[in-house]
């Protein structure tokens, strides 16, 4: 029944849902640890988002492929193994080819494993949908996550250091506005961003549909 | 939920004696997943091992360029190993075109940073004055302690300092080195580590010069 329901979903719907309507950060408020931890600059936000997107694409793809094979009772350990493998691969790849970024994000890369947004997509979407839909979903959710991280990173970097992607915005003599770089600034900036997102959604006449915690989004039909 | 209940009913019915088919399936599925994951990791390790070593070497090379005066030899290839109390220390030697020794560089670790160890590369001239200091790895708070990386004037203050032409402590402790707003522990740890590095040099200077000069 779930499959029948979801098969009527268009790709554009999946994309809009993952990127905006059901955005991991803006609507579901998941993945707060990397969000608040690494977004002291726009470029950090970009790389963290990119790493998460690749992990998501890998895990959604594999989970969708094995969805008929893995018994229900052991699906969570199986998914976590898949996710952990991809995270480790991404970590090693970044260490090899974007070494400087790896040194900055180092601590947060392994933590992608426990970003419950990723397990959430595996459980709520990839385990119930076709390969192509799952990959579409991964790209949409990943881009949405990256966008959110970059937005918060940009706000914090611009107000905190007066630069954007390392380039001065307010001239060379901008006094560092430290609160935006420190953790409280992340919460303050995120609050304003969420308020802005809500205003935009209200103007458009749509309301986000996310449920709290790791619960699946609106397209996951509960068995009960 | 419906599926799961019927599952478990079926299982209790079947598994009264021995192992049910469901359980075998679980073991097989999990084993397969882990084997595939392990293979993937092994392959990635094989592909990335060389590039990672290469990237670390390049990183070190770039840091060495920054803490040593302009030199013509390949510092990564001319190293000395000196035994110290806490293990073997690698010393990089810089020479000019006439093979004269210009400076030495080595890494010191400040174990007492605000969050974990701070790794510092320091270049020192043969007369015992610091040429330059760079931070190669740290986990200090962005915006506060990471001034040791971002604050160029603070780093440049080390240049030209010898073991006794400056008071090796932050101003709060009665020394000559600035601390940062909201961060004293980090600069204090770095200053202390560099001072110890100079003490190490003073102790081994004769040996280092004997091993390098005229060779």
Where do the structural domains in chain A lie, given as residue ranges? 29-204
Tokens of B178: 């600035």
Q: Are residues B12 and B90 in the same domain?
A: no
Among B34, B37, B48, the residue with its CB nearest the CB of A92 is B48
Does residue A92 belong to the interface with chain B, where contact is any CB pair within 8 Å?
A: yes
Mark whether B26 and B116 lie in a shared domain: no
B146 and B95 share one domain: yes
**How far apart are alpha carbons A125 and A119 in whole angstroms?**
10
Is pLDDT of B65 > 50?
yes
At B81, which helix (H) or strand (E)? strand B79-84
Instruction: Assess whether B114 and B195 both reside in one domain.
Output: yes
Q: How many domains does chain B have?
A: 2
A132 touches chain B (CB under 8 A): no
Residue B66 lies in a domain: no
Q: What residues of chain A lie within 8 A of the CB of B3, using their CB?
A: 72, 223
State whether B24 and B124 are in the same domain: no
pLDDT tens for residues A21-69?
Answer: 889 888 888 888 888 888 989 999 999 999 999 999 999 999 999 988 8
**Any CB–CB contact under 8 A between B24 and chain A?**
no
In whole angstroms, what is the distance from residue A163 CA to residue B95 CA? 39
Select the residue of A85, A96, A107 nearest B48 (Cβ to Cβ).
A96
Domain check: are B96 and B152 in the same one?
yes
H or E segment and range at residue B132 = strand B130-137
Query: Average pLDDT in the A93-115 region?
Result: 89
- pLDDT per residue as tens digits for the range A8-26: 578 888 998 889 888 988 8
> Measured between alpha carbons, how far is A9 from B144 in angstroms, rounded to an integer?
49
Query: Hunting for tokens 């303050």 — which residue is that?
Result: A188
Mean pLDDT of chain A: 85
Q: For this complex, say whether ipTM is above 0.85.
A: no
Which pLDDT does position B84 carry in this prediction? Answer: 80
Task: Determine which of A39, A64, A67, A89 to mutate to test the interface with B (most B C-beta atoms within 10 Å).
Answer: A89
Question: Contact A141/A56 with Cβ under 8 angstroms?
Answer: yes
Report, as an integer, the average pLDDT of B70-76: 89
**Does residue B148 sit in the same domain as residue B43?**
no
- pLDDT, tens only, B6-21: 444 444 444 455 678 8
Asked if residue B33 belongs to a domain, the reply is yes
Q: Which residues of B touch A77 (CB under 8 A)?
A: 30
Do residues B104 and B163 both lie within one domain? Answer: yes
Q: Does A91 touch chain B (CB under 8 A)?
A: no
Q: How high is the pLDDT of residue B188?
A: 95
Instruction: Determine, for residues A85 and B182 on separate chains, whether the beta-carbon distance falls below 8 Å.
Output: no
Q: Give the SS3 label for residue B137.
A: strand
Q: Mark whether B89 and B143 lie in a shared domain.
A: yes
| DSSP H or E segment with residue B105 | strand B101-113
Do both B106 and B7 map to the same domain?
Answer: no
The reported pLDDT for the residue numbered B16 is 53
Is B22 found in the same domain as B88?
Answer: no
Answer for the pair A182, B143: CB distance below 8 angstroms, yes or no: yes
Q: Which residues in chain B are contacts of A181 at CB distance < 8 A?
A: 142-143
Q: Is the pLDDT score of A220 beyond 70?
A: no
- Is residue B62 a part of any domain in this protein? no
Coil, helix or strand for A41? coil
In chain A, beta strands by DSSP E:
163-164, 167-168
B28 lies in the same domain as B77: no
pLDDT category of residue A209 using cuts at 50, 70 and 90: low
Does residue B139 form part of some domain? yes
Encoded tokens for A39:
């977004």
The reply to whether B43 falls in a domain is yes
Residue B83 located in a structural domain: yes
Mean pLDDT (whole number) for A172-194: 88
CB B132 within 8 A of CB B66: yes
Range of the domain at B13: 2-51
Q: For B136-153, what is the mean pLDDT?
A: 87
Q: Is A92 close to B44, i.e. CB distance below 8 A?
A: yes
Does B65 map to a domain? no
Given a cut of 50, is residue A212 above it in pLDDT?
no
Contacts of residue A224 in chain B, CB cutoff 8 Å?
Answer: 1-2
């Amino acid at each position: 029944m779930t499959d029948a329901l979801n098969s009527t979903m268009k790709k554009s719907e999946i994309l809009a849902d993952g990127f905006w309507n059901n955005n991991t950060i803006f609507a579901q408020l998941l993945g707060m640890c990397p969000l608040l931890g690494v977004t002291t600059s726009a470029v950090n936000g970009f790389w963290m988002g990119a790493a998460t997107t690749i992990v998501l694409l890998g895990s959604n793809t594999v989970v969708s492929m094995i969805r008929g094979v893995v018994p229900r009772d052991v699906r969570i350990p199986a998914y976590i193994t898949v996710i952990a493998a991809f995270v480790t691969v991404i970590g090693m790849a970044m260490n090899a080819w974007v070494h400087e970024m790896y040194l900055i994000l180092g601590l947060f890369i392994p933590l992608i494993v426990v970003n419950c947004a990723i397990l959430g997509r595996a459980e709520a979407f990839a385990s119930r949908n076709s390969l192509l839909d799952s990959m579409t979903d991964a790209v949409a959710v990943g881009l949405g996550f990256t966008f959110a991280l970059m937005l918060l990173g940009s706000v914090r970097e611009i107000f905190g250091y007066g630069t954007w992607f390392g380039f001065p915005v307010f001239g060379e003599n901008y006094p560092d506005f430290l609160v935006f770089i420190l953790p409280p600034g992340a919460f303050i900036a995120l609050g304003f961003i969420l308020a802005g997102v809500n205003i935009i959604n209200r103007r458009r006449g749509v309301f986000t549909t996310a449920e709290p915690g790791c619960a699946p989004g609106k397209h996951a039909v509960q068995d009960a | 939920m419906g599926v799961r209940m019927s599952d478990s009913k079926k299982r209790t019915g079947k598994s009264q004696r021995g192992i049910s088919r469901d359980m075998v399936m679980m073991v097989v599925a999990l084993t397969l997943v882990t084997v595939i994951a392990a293979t993937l990791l092994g392959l990635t390790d094989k592909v990335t091992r060389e590039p990672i070593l290469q990237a670390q070497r390049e990183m070190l090379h770039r840091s060495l360029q920054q803490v040593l005066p302009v030199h013509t030899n390949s510092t990564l290839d001319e190293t000395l190993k000196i035994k110290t109390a806490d293990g073997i220390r690698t010393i990089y030697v810089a020479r000019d075109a006439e093979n004269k020794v210009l400076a030495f560089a080595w890494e010191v670790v400040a174990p007492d940073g605000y969050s974990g160890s701070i790794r510092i590369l320091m270049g020192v001239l043969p007369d015992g004055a610091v040429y330059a200091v760079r931070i190669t790895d740290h986990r200090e708070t962005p915006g506060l302690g990471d001034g040791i990386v971002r604050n160029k004037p603070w780093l440049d203050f080390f240049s030209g300092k010898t073991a006794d032409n400056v008071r090796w402590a932050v101003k709060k402790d009665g020394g000559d080195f600035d601390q940062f707003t909201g961060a004293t522990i980090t600069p204090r740890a770095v200053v202390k580590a560099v001072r110890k590095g100079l003490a190490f040099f003073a102790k081994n200077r004769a040996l280092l010069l004997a091993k390098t000069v005229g060779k």
